[in-house]
């Protein structure tokens, strides 16, 4: 009896401590947050956005120091890429010295950040109405002063004319496919994308193989590894017909002829095409609303597509993003499809999944597919600096870890911190399915985590190409540049517990690459109006899916 009383007393005591901690958080956290922003407000009270060359160079140096020199993956990336970040930094110093506008300067920063260690690297305007600080926990708009808001507004107004100049020029877009850069016609863009080189393949740029210029061109996309061709590449190359550095290109056209043309490379143009139009649509005017959609169409989930093949007792799920808001619906729809198909085999297609919320993978998707548990705690290591200390060591984030993120832990040892993330899966499937996981160089972030966790199961096989990587590596940080107050996102940690290459992603069990022939066949089907993403259509052109079906049919 006495033991029960003691246990009951301790339980009540724990509850009381928890209540006190939550109450303290409610009272103290807003003050700490506001104090943090008061510290950040220094020097950001004027509307004039003009920067001196010295200020721009200080920003560049700060980014280089925080996102590269203090990044534990710097040496690893230099060795694998075969590059010198110091040489790249010095080259960009010369670019920044000669910028003609603040918009061009932002373009150079964006391009420079893209080649620094990491795949989550992103540039942001100092947009205090939209952006969040440090992992999306604190919305800055609540605490932004009027001066800060005016400053953001001024940047946008200054950039508007530059974006309009970019829109006057045609885009020339080339997508990387199996060692080649193939011309693409992009229709869903605020920019006119010329069809002059559609399906043409770049033979050379200034006499060089375009893959050899991976770190020389101004590109928004980070370098990614291609296992089949043993090289790094940029997923897209964006050129235009008149702004920036002129390059002479040879292009092999679909009819077998070779043409020579001028392609212009400009970081500001790339920024306008790929970032401003997505994150800052007001720079282009308000987007037109789609009045053609029906209630039924709007009810279709945006993050996944599930189809059944009853003859093979198979369920195919094309999982496009780890969207938390559709997690419960995903569980319901997937379980229903598995039951209706009497499924024995599941194909989980992650080839176009750029990530999202990791708990959607660990708590929603994988428990439906697997019957066994996986205990996995990923430990990432980083170096303390002003940004990482704010993210990993302030009281508000320790409270965030305790009450919101499910028990992730931060530990500081000297000038090094360790971030432990719980990625365990509690399987609840009623049977052991044969599971094939399709991966590509576009399998990224939380989808990369899904691929890594599936590797832990004996009944799962990864088929395709290496993932893009940087899934199990801690959380991204947002950081402000000291002069411009632009924001940039980067991951300051490297995983020290999971044995996979942070530069080259997760290697599949069976390697099957996406070929130029597949790409051209897919393009022709799109031109004819076919639904190329459906399971039935993919069976006609998708070599990776066809390989899996052959394995399934061969196994009986």
Residue 408: inside a domain: yes
Shared domain check, 308 and 264: no
Shared domain check, 275 and 310: no
Can you spell out the DSSP letters for 109-166?
A: HHHHHHHSS-S--EEE---TTT-EETTTTEEGGGT--HHHHHHHHHHHHHHHHHHHHH
* Beta-ladder partners of 261: 249
* pLDDT average, residue stretch 222-241: 87
Shared domain check, 246 and 306: no
* Least confident segment among 40-54, 185-199, 425-439: 40-54
Q: Which of 283, 314, 338 is the last residue of a domain?
A: 283
Shared domain check, 535 and 418: yes
Shared domain check, 526 and 460: yes
Residue 521: inside a domain: yes
Q: Is the pLDDT of residue 193 over 70?
A: yes
**156-180 confidence digits (pLDDT tens):** 777 878 888 888 888 888 999 999 9
Shared domain check, 515 and 434: yes
Residue 357: inside a domain: yes
Shared domain check, 507 and 379: yes
Shared domain check, 520 and 407: yes
**Helix intervals (H) in 245-362:** 267-271, 277-279, 295-298, 327-341, 358-359
**477-532 confidence digits (pLDDT tens):** 777 788 887 888 888 888 877 666 667 888 999 999 999 999 999 989 988 889 99
350 pLDDT tier (thresholds 50, 70, 90): very high
Q: Which of 251, 283, 315 is the last residue of a domain?
A: 283
Residue 49: inside a domain: no
Shared domain check, 429 and 379: yes
24 pLDDT tier (thresholds 50, 70, 90): low
Q: Is the pLDDT of residue 220 over 80?
A: no
181 pLDDT tier (thresholds 50, 70, 90): very high
**110-152 confidence digits (pLDDT tens):** 899 988 988 888 887 665 555 444 333 333 444 456 666 677 7
Do the beta carbons of residue 429 and residue 369 sit within 8 Å?
yes
Residue 28: inside a domain: no
Q: Which of 226, 254, 283 is the last residue of a domain?
A: 283
Do the beta carbons of residue 441 and residue 466 sit within 8 Å?
yes
Residue 42: inside a domain: no
Domain containing 360 equals 301-478+493-555
Q: Looking at the 3D structure of the chain, how many domains does it have? A: 2
pLDDT at 41: 42
* pLDDT average, residue stretch 359-368: 94
**Angle CA 366–319–332, to nearest 5:** 60
Shared domain check, 331 and 267: no
Shared domain check, 317 and 253: no
* Least confident segment among 193-202, 219-228, 458-467, 525-534: 219-228
CA distance 57 to 513: 42
CATH number of the domain encompassing residue 337: 3.90.226.10
**419-477 confidence digits (pLDDT tens):** 788 888 999 999 999 999 999 999 988 999 999 999 999 999 999 999 987 767 677 77
Residue 413: inside a domain: yes
222 phi/psi in degrees, rounded to 5: -75, 155
How high is the mean pLDDT of the chain?
A: 80
Can you spell out the DSSP letters for 160-221?
A: HHHHHHHHTS-EEEEEEETTEEEEE---SSSS-B--TTTT-EEEEETTB-GGGGTTTS--SS
Q: Is the pLDDT of residue 283 over 60?
A: no
Q: Is the pLDDT of residue 56 over 50?
A: yes
**68-96 confidence digits (pLDDT tens):** 998 888 888 888 888 899 999 999 999 99
Shared domain check, 499 and 363: yes
Residue 145: inside a domain: no
* pLDDT average, residue stretch 317-323: 95
The DSSP call for residue 302 is: S
């Amino acid at each position: 009896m006495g033991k029960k009383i003691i246990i009951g007393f301790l339980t009540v005591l724990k509850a009381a401590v928890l209540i006190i901690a939550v109450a303290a958080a409610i009272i103290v956290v807003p003050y700490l947050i506001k104090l943090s922003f008061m510290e950040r407000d220094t020097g950001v009270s004027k509307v004039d956005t003009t920067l001196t060359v010295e200020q721009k160079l200080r920003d560049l140096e700060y980014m280089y120091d925080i996102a590269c020199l203090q990044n534990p993956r710097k040496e690893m990336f230099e060795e694998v890429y075969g590059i010198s970040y110091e040489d790249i930094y010095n080259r960009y110093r010369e670019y920044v010295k000669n910028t003609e506008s603040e918009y061009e300067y932002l373009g150079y920063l964006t391009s420079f950040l893209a080649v620094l260690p990491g795949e989550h690297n992103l540039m942001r305007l100092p947009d205090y109405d939209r952006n969040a600080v440090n992992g999306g926990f604190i919305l800055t708009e609540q605490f932004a002063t009027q001066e800060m808001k005016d400053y953001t507004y001024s940047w946008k107004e200054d950039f508007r004319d530059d974006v309009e100049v970019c829109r006057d020029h045609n885009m020339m877009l080339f997508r990387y496919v199996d060692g080649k850069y193939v011309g693409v016609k992009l229709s869903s863009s605020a920019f006119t994308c010329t069809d002059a080189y559609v399906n043409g393949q770049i033979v050379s740029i200034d006499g060089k193989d375009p893959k050899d210029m991976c770190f020389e061109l101004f590109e928004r996309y980070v370098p990614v590894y291609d296992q089949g061709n043993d090289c790094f590449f940029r997923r897209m190359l964006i050129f235009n017909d008149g702004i920036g550095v002129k390059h002479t290109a040879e292009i092999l056209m679909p009819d077998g002829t070779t043409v020579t043309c001028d392609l212009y490379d400009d970081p500001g143009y790339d920024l306008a095409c790929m970032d401003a139009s997505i994150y800052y649509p007001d720079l282009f005017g308000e987007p037109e609303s789609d009045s053609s959609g029906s209630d039924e169409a709007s009810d279709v989930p945006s993050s996944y597509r599930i189809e059944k093949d009853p003859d093979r007792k198979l369920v195919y799920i094309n999982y496009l993003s780890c969207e938390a808001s559709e997690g419960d619906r995903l569980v319901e729809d997937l379980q229903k499809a598995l039951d209706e198909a009497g499924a024995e085999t599941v194909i989980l297609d992650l080839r176009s999944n750029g990530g999202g919320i990791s708990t959607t993978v660990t708590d929603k998707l994988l428990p439906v597919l697997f019957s066994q548990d996986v205990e996995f705690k990923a430990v990432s290591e980083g170096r303390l600096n002003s940004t990482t200390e704010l993210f990993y060591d302030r009281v508000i984030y320790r409270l965030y870890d305790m009450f919101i993120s499910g028990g992730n832990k931060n530990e500081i040892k000297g000038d090094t911190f360790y971030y432990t993330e719980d990625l365990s899966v509690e399987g609840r499937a009623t049977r052991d399915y044969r599971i094939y996981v399709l991966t590509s160089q576009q399998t990224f972030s939380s989808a990369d985590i899904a691929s890594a966790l599936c590797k832990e199961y004996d009944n799962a096989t990864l088929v395709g190409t290496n993932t893009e990587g940087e899934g199990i590596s801690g959380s991204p940080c947002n950081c402000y540049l000291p002069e411009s107050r632009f924001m940039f996102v980067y991951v300051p940690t490297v995983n020290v517990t999971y044995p996979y290459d942070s530069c080259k992603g997760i290697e599949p069990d069976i390697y099957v690459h996406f070929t130029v022939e597949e790409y051209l066949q897919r393009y022709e089907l799109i031109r004819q109006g076919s639904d190329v993403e459906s399971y039935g259509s993919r069976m006609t052109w998708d070599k990776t899916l066809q390989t899996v079906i052959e394995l399934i049919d061969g196994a009986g």
